[in-house]
Amino acid sequence: MNFIVVGVLAPIAYFLIRLLVKKLVINFIQNLKRNSGVKDMTKCEVCNTYVEDDQLQSINGKTVCSKTSCRE
């Protein structure tokens, strides 16, 4: 009887508990990211500063910020 509990049921229970915890943690992290209010930042390829995504433009295939020195 011990062999059945230790050899069969325990690994299945361990797998199911691990799967449940993994899903809960991933869901928790996704909710934190969604509700955090932190904006996505991207690096300007000319001046190497990080700016918000809505302030970036794509000029000649490069991601460029809204500074006049970068746009030229």
Provide the pLDDT for residue 29: 92
Say if residue 48 is in the same domain as residue 25: no
**What is the per-residue burial (b if ≥16 Cβ within 10 Å, else e) of 13-38?**
eeeeeeeeeeeeeeeeeeeeeeeeee
Provide the pLDDT for residue 12: 93
Say if residue 22 is in the same domain as residue 49: no
For residue 61, pLDDT over 90 is answered with: no
What residues make up the domain containing 33? Answer: 1-37
Say if residue 72 is in the same domain as residue 47: yes
pLDDT band at 62 (very low <50, low <70, confident <90, very high): confident
Say if residue 52 is in the same domain as residue 33: no
pLDDT, one tens digit per residue, over 19-50 is: 999 999 999 999 988 888 777 888 888 888 88
For residue 5, pLDDT over 80 is answered with: no
Segment (H or E) for 64? strand 62-64
The domain total for the chain is 2
Provide the pLDDT for residue 60: 82
